[in-house]
Structure 1
Amino acid sequence: MSFIYDKLLGGKSGALGLLVLSILILVVFPLALDGFRLNLIGKYLTYAFAAMSLVLLWGYGGTLSLGQGIFFGLGGYCMAMFLKLEASSPENTAIQSTPGIPDFMDWNQITELPWFWEPFSSFGFTIAAILIVPALFAYIIGVAMFKRRVGGVYFAIITQVIAVILTVLIVGQQGFTGGINGITDLRTLNGWDMTSDSAKYLFYYINCALLITVIVLSRFILTSKFGRLLLAIRDKEDRVRFSGYDVANFKIFIFCFAALVSAIGGAMFTLQVGFMSPSFVGIVPSIEMVIFAAVGGRMSLIGVVYGTLLINFGKTTFSESFPELWLFLMGGTFIAVVMFFPNGLAGLWEEYSTPLMKKIRAKIQPSVTAKPSSSSYETKESK
Structure 2
Amino acid sequence: MNQPLAITVAQKAGPKVTLGVGALVLAVLIALPLLHLLPADNVLHVSAYTLTLVGKILCYCIVALALDLVWGYAGLLSLGHGLFFALGGYAMGMYLSREAAGDGLPAFMSFLAWTELPWYWYGTSNFLWALCLVVLAPGLLALVFGFFAFRSRIKGVYFSIMTQALTFAGMLLFFRNETGFGGNNGFTGFTRILGFDITAQGTRAALFIATLALLVGSLYLGFKLARSKFGRVLTAVRDAENRLMFCGYDPRGYKLFIWVLSAVLCGLAGALYVPQVGIINPSEMSPTNSIEAAVWVALGGRGTLIGPLLGAGLVNGMKSWFTVAFPEYWLFALGALFIGVTLYLPKGVIGLLRKRGEQ
Normalised by the size of structure 2, how large is the TM-score?
A: 0.89
1:76 and 1:267 in contact (8 A); partners too: yes
Counting matched residue pairs gives 337
Asked if 1:121 is matched to 2:122, the reply is no
Is the CA contact 1:43–1:273 (under 8 Å) kept in the aligned structure 2?
yes
CA distance in structure 2 between the aligned counterparts of 1:314 and 1:256, rounded to whole angstroms: 30
Residues 1:75 and 2:52 are matched in the alignment = no
1:295 aligns with 2:288: no
- Listed as ranges, the matches of 1:204-283 within 5 Å are 204-283=208-287
Counterparts of 1:65-214 in structure 2, within 5 Å, are 65-90=78-103, 100-174=104-178, 176-214=180-218
| TM-score relative to the length of structure 1 | 0.83
Which residue is equivalent to 1:4?
Answer: none
Q: Secondary structure at the match of 2:149?
A: helix
Q: Report the counterpart of residue 54 of structure 2 in structure 1.
A: 41
Aligned partners of 2:201, 2:177: CA distance in 1, in Å?
34
Moved more, 326-335 or 201-210: 326-335
Query: Shift of residue 210 of structure 1?
Result: 1.0
Separation (CA, whole Å) in 1 of partners of 2:126 and 2:239: 45
Shift of 1:21: 3.6
Pair 1:179–1:148, CA change in 2 (3 A) = same
CA distance, structure 2, for counterparts of residue 63 and residue 175 of structure 1: 31
Q: Which whole-Å deviations, capped at 9, do the CAs of 1:305-349 have from their partners, x for residues lacking one?
A: 111111111111112122333332333233323322111111111
Deviations 1:8-54 (A, max 9, x none): xxx75764464244134223797675331221111111111111111
Which of the pair has more CA radius of gyration? 1
Partner of 1:358: none
Query: Secondary structure at the residue paired with 2:102?
Result: coil
Give the aligned partner of residue 373 of structure 1: none
CA-to-partner distance for each residue in 1:249-293, whole Å, 9 max, x for gaps?
A: 111111001001111110111121112111111211111111111
- Deviations 1:223-265, CA, capped at 9 Å, x for gaps: 1110000001111101111211111111111100100111111
**In structure 2, how many angstroms separate the alpha carbons of the residues matched to 1:222 and 1:164?**
31
Q: Does 1:329 pair with 2:342?
A: no
| Structure 2 Cα separation of the partners of residues 174 and 272 of structure 1 | 27
Q: Are positions 1:304 and 2:308 aligned together? A: yes
Q: Look up the equivalent residue of 1:241 and give its one-letter code.
A: M
Distance in 1 separating the partners of 2:25 and 2:148: 38
CA–CA distance in structure 1, aligned partners of residues 18 and 67 of structure 2:
19
- CA–CA separation in structure 1 for the residues paired with 2:146 and 2:219: 23
SS at 1:121's partner residue?
coil
Q: Deviations over 1:146-194 (max 9, x none)?
A: 0110111111101111111111111114450000011111110022111
Higher alpha-carbon deviation: 312-321 or 227-236: 312-321
Partner of 2:39: none
Structure 2 stretches of 5 or more lacking a match? 1-14, 36-43
Query: Sequence identity, in percent?
Result: 37
Match 1:52 to one of 65, 72, 92: 65
Q: Which amino acid aligns with 2:133?
A: A
In structure 2, give the amino acid aligned to 1:42. Answer: G
Alignment RMSD, CA only?
Answer: 2.0
Partner of residue 96, structure 1:
none
* Partners of 1:21 and 1:338 in 2: CA distance: 28
Q: Cα–Cα, structure 1 residues 127 and 28, in superposed 2: closer, same or farther, change >3 Å?
A: closer
Contact preservation (8 Å) 1:105, 1:175 = no
**Is the 1:22–1:212 contact (alpha carbons within 8 Å) kept by the matching residues of 2?**
no
Tell me the distance in 2 between the aligned counterparts of 1:175 and 1:110. 12
Report the secondary structure of 1:177's partner residue: coil
Aligned partners of 1:21 and 1:302 also within 8 Å: no
Aligned to 1:22: 26
Q: Distance in 1 between matches of 2:303 and 2:34?
A: 28
Change (3 A) 1:323 1:142: closer
Amino acid at match of 1:248: R
